Amino acid sequence: MHFHLPKPLHGWRAFAGEVGIIVVGVLIALGAEQVVEVLHWRRETATLRENLHREIRDNQWNAALRVMISGCIRQRIGRLESELTRSGVAWAADPVEGGDEQRWSALPIAFKFPSMQSFYTSGHWQTALASGELAHMPDGERNGYSYTYQAIADLEAFSAQEDALVGRLQPLARDQRLDAQQRLDFEAQLASLDHLNVVQTIYSRKFLEGTRRSGIVPRRGDIDAAYRSARAEYGACATPLGLTADALSPGSNATKVKPES
């Protein structure tokens, strides 16, 4: 029994040509789809990069402000420690300002606001992690952002520790009687707050230097605006970004960081 293959209407050569045209068309369509997808993710990545840079610059502003007011925090801590060592049991609150802000009078002057923790933000980074957009970035760039946002998370964690200490210092905001043990307890909390202030200052400087080395340079205008804000809010104790060695531990390598330009 013999089987006969059907012959193409216009011959095998014509049939192969038609198949070839179809295959080429499919390949062109697939290639065009890939090109469109590449262009799409290139635009998405550019938008993501822009959002991350803007968010990092906001955190640079906050880190710079922290360095500038670190001396204000240390001065206020020193004053409270000195008052706690005085003899007697009477404690008189030392208002920084009157009115509604008097309830913060016991706190270092830089902590007029209830929380410093909320200053640091990472919303765009968290969204990018959840959406998978970072997978379309080069490995080196993605790793750089990862290190940067880990530093931001560290600063936020230190701020959370400060918030807890500030809450425990709140009783000093009112006139009262303090025995020797209570005074010692408050002195210990102030010492911890002083230590965290130094750590925050060092990490803030390192964060600024790290982002600068990564190519996200703090804008001079932003740094100047932060300094004007620090001076307006906290007074003469605020210092320019490059003049904060007095607020750091002696010999700290953070003092070697150059001012951002």
CB 231 within 8 A of CB 87: no
Pick the closest to residue 72 from 110, 112, 114 (CA basis).
110
DSSP annotation of 132: T
Predicted pLDDT of residue 238: 85
Burial of 72: CB neighbours in 10 Å, binned 0-12, 13-18, 19+: buried
CB 257 within 8 A of CB 64: no
d(CA 75, CA 177): 24
CB atoms under 10 Å from CB of 47, counted, come to 12
Q: Distances in Å between the alpha carbon of 24 and those of 12, 28, 33, 200, 202?
A: 18, 6, 14, 62, 61
Predicted pLDDT of residue 172: 82
3-state secondary structure of 90: strand
DSSP annotation of 91: E
pLDDT per residue, tens digit, the chain (261 aa), is: 555 555 555 555 665 566 667 666 666 766 655 654 554 556 777 888 888 988 999 899 889 888 888 888 888 888 888 889 988 888 887 655 544 444 444 455 445 444 444 578 888 888 888 888 888 788 888 888 898 999 999 998 988 888 888 888 888 877 889 999 999 999 999 999 999 988 988 899 889 888 887 788 888 888 888 888 888 877 788 888 875 443 343 333 333 333 333
CB atoms under 10 Å from CB of 14, counted, come to 11
Predicted pLDDT of residue 150: 92
